[in-house]
Amino acid sequence: TEDYTDRIYLSTKVTLDGLPPAARVRIYTLLGELVWEGAADGAGVAVWKGVNRAAMRVASDVYRVRIDSEDKSRTKKLSVIR
């Protein structure tokens, strides 16, 4: 597992690129609550629309992004500022 520097996204759509194709992407609150789950497409891109599993906009906060592929797992921090 690797930690990366915080990233700040000002839009409500977050594009995660450079991922392994079909990588599993999960976004959690810092308390460990699952916010969103998806997968990278064949080009290694996953798009999160800034909503939780109930389709409600998430609050400004810091989230953890967990990326799992066949050969590697990593964690990034993501700051959402509304």
Segment 13-58, tens digit of pLDDT: 888 999 999 999 999 999 999 999 999 999 999 999 999 999 998 9
pLDDT of 9 > 80? The answer is no
Instruction: Note the pTM of the prediction, 2 decimals.
Output: 0.83
- Residues 6 or more apart from 14 whose CB is under 8 A from it? 47, 48, 49, 50, 78
pLDDT at residue 41, as a whole number: 97
**Contact status, residue 7 vs residue 76, Cβ threshold 8 Å:** yes
